[in-house]
Amino acid sequence: MQTAIVTGGGRGIGAAISRKLAQDGYRILLTYSTSSKPAEMLVDRIRDSGIDAVAVNCDVTDAREVALLATHPWVIGGIDVLILNHGRYDRIDARSLDYAHLRRTMSTNFEGSFLIWESVKSSLRNDARICVIGSQLGTRGSPHGADYSASKAALALWARSLAQAVGSEGKRVNIVAPGFVDTDILAGDSPEKRASRIEEVPLKRIGTPDDIAETVSYLVSDDANYVTGVVVHVNGGLYLP
Ligand code: NDP
């Protein structure tokens, strides 16, 4: 059985990716940093479906915790798929962003992904597939997410560079850039804000975590075996770069 790691795989978009890859037949090692309960509940649900799964506590900003991930027996046994999904978005006006906050966002969204990859890279199989969850804002920018946008832009270009470096080994690396997706990130929206978001999207709905998971599933499958280094925008037409 092939093994997939999903960072932040216990809730939100990550949970949908964990569920979908389990349906695709991968055993799932998902990580969480604070939300142990949903992570453990998801692991139970996946196991009930006959697929093995495990939840591992790993704060990606803690280099020691990330290094420990490499000692997990499933990681040592070889990784087929690595999904770098974790992320934070705190919505701060670009004019009042301070250095401490910038550091926190960069160390979670960008450096955290790098650290995970660095920790597990020697366990990636020759034909490993890596998928990074970026954001439309990583191309578009945002007046209330300068730190977030910069972190996602860095993440996407790092992933693209990696794709060019590891292609000759048979590995593929792609980026999925969601638009508006119904998770805790949008939970603070007023009904008016939500309605205006829907109006903004040509397909007239907010994306679901499953919309993102379906695309990830395709990118790590053999159906995409000539696809690498791309940014796939999954946003209902909201932003067309
Ligand atoms: P959620 O806020 O619902 O989930 C965030 C996930 O990231 C959680 O699993 C959380 O784990 C994990 N995480 C946060 N900080 C850390 C950390 N320091 N170490 C390890 N894990 C961490 O967000 P979404 O599901 O919406 O977001 C998933 C990805 O999709 C993110 O990268 C986000 O930037 C991106 N995205 C989301 C969009 C949206 O509209 N929802 C739009 C564009 C991109 P825990 O709870 O255990 O801390």
pLDDT at 64: 96
- Asked whether residue 239 is assigned to any structural domain, the reply reads no
Give residue-wise pLDDT tens across range 19-48: 999 999 999 999 999 999 999 999 999 999
Residue 201 located in a structural domain: yes
Is the pTM above the cut of 0.95? yes
**Residue 225: predicted pLDDT:** 97
Domain that holds residue 111: 3-233
Torsion 183-13-60-54 (CA) sign: positive
From atom 31 of ligand 1, which residue's Cα is the shortest distance away? 87
Q: Is residue 238 part of a domain?
A: no
* Residues whose beta carbon lies within 6 Å of some atom of ligand 1: 8, 10-14, 32-35, 59-61, 85-89, 108, 112, 133, 135, 178, 180-181, 183-186
227 Cα to the center of ligand 1, angstroms: 25
Q: Is residue 240 part of a domain?
A: no
Q: Provide the pLDDT for residue 232.
A: 98
Closest protein CA for atom 39 of ligand 1: 181
Q: Residue 18 burial (CB < 10 Å; 0-12/13-18/19+)? A: buried
83 vs 91: CA distance, rounded Å: 24
Identify the pLDDT of residue 14. Answer: 98
Q: Is 148 a catalytic residue?
A: yes
Residue 50 lies in a domain: yes
Number of domain units in the chain: 1
CATH number reported for the structural domain that contains residue 163 in this entry:
3.40.50.720
Q: Give me the chain's average pLDDT, please.
A: 97
Does 103 reside within a domain?
Answer: yes
Strand-by-strand arrangement of the 124-133 sheet: 53-57, 27-32, 3-6, 79-84, 124-133, 172-178, 231-234
For 99-138, the pLDDT digits (tens) are 999 999 999 999 999 999 999 999 999 999 999 999 999 9
Mutation pick for ligand 1 pocket among 11, 103, 144 (CB with most ligand atoms within 8 Å): 11
Q: For residue 50, give every residue at least 6 positions away whose Cβ sits within 8 Å of its Cβ, in sequence order, or none.
A: none
